[in-house]
Structure 1
Amino acid sequence: MIREAHVTLQSFTLGLGVLSYLLASCGGLGLLGVWLGHYLCAYCGVFYLAVNLLLLLVYRGGDWQIAVRGCFLGACCGGGILVSVLSPTSYHVFGWYVVVLTVFHFSEYLTTAIGNPKTLTLDSYLLNHSWAYGIAAVVSWGEFFIERWLLPDMKMIWYVSIIGIIICLWGEIIRKSAMLTAKTNFNHIVQVRRQDGHELVTWGTYQLFRHPSYVGWFWWSIGTQLILVNPLCTIAYTLASWSFFNERIHFEEMTLINFFGEKYLDYQKKVGTGLPFIKGFIPKIPQKQT
């Protein structure tokens, strides 16, 4: 693996070290650990600060930027596990959600580093994906906490959350397999100019769906709201994701037909987009006048 992959793996693992709180709380880290073990937030804060100081000493420049983000995601993932283990029962699903969310963003960067390192940037974490993405996330948190306050029992409908986790896992498998199958032909940004070496990928996951990365993300986004047992956001995410990918696929297929011509049109006829009620861009062929 390239250096960036090692850096993000190491920093993510360091961030996960907040789970050492479980050891501290049972007296496994000496007197200081015993004292901090009574204060979860204080322990996690001190630990996170200490790890970031370490990263500042070990890494420089671009590597430090990668490490800070990797550590943040690792710490949040560990925090999610702590919430799912130590918090009141009605908060457990939020901990599961945080784990799923942080693993998604971390794995986006790592998979890009493995499959297409030439396009790897800090944006590959997708932490700054868009304002709409950020607002949607905040709205889903708001729905969770409001409903948990008003109807705490609703957040303990475990089978809905478990279905959500399964859907998220399924979406992740599809998306990451697509990225690793396409390798250098995959890019987080729709390309409007054909790059040297750009091939039309029709094997692996692409034999099942024309746009497997979108299929994976579509189901993953819906699954996150099922984990939270958020009925309103489940509907909203489904509609918003469908609308976004419908427009995105339409535009992308225009460029793909421009890149590959008849070859892509033949592929269109054999393989569907993979998303419900989305056909993609079908060019109109003028009828011959008789």
Structure 2
Amino acid sequence: MTSKLIVFTDLDGTLLDHFDYSFTAASTTLTSLKTLGIPCIINTSKTYSELLSLRQELRHRDPFIIENGAAIYIPKSADLILSSDMESKGDYWVKAFGPKRKTLVDLALAFAERFDFISYSDLSPEQLAEFTGLDCASASLSLRREFTEPLIWKDSNLALETFKTDMAKHGVKVQKGGRFVHLMGQDCDKAVAMAWLNEKYQEKYDAPTKIIALGDGENDVEMIRHADIPVVVRSPVHIPPEIPKRTDVWITESYGPAGWSEAIDKVLSIEGYV
């Protein structure tokens, strides 16, 4: 093997089942990655607070990217060469790619009369739980955002395009996800965060890396497009997103975590790991 494999993965609808958030179907493959020493980087719209308990369940020890590429959390125990401008937060170093959430909340409020949406910050845990199917405790953790502000978009698609244009004038990007429209800094992107972290692993290994990126939604498109091995995990609720400028995208046969395992097991076999 001339290059080192790194996995970058979405969570909801990909590693986690869309309906019950289970990762049981992926457990064996997750264990294989740990045994082989292959980093599995979570790259999600979820918050730091949400991932604390989930990472314990997954027995996850690698870095993770939160809120659609808004920031990377790197365990201080990780053997990576990091820059001195990173923020220290408990057991982690934090690399942020955008403004703090309050800036985005204030900006959304200024547009509330022109467009029909509900801001995440206006929701109670009970309301969010009803909308997402999460329990109230999980919904409460999801509300603890640091760098992004999701919106429940109730206006038209045409209005959304206008909203995107208006927000861009303020240096804010509007990204459509599976359930929400997300406000974030212009440089916040799953692909940007992936590229930054990949460079750190190349420095660590002093060797080239090969990225497999897996996701199921529109907010995963750029991450998948920039991977060496692009994988769309089939969803039970929507058609696979198109990945522009790629003709080699794998679309899994199975849904969610079963499809996730299907793709990674195939890559491990092709790359000679098993």
The reply to whether TM is greater than 0.5 is no
Structure-1-length-normalised TM-score: 0.22
Structure-2-length-normalised TM-score: 0.23
**Which structure has greater strand proportion?**
2
**Which structure has greater helix proportion?**
1
Bigger CA radius of gyration: 1
Highest RCO, 1 vs 2 (Cα 8 Å, sep ≥ 6): 2
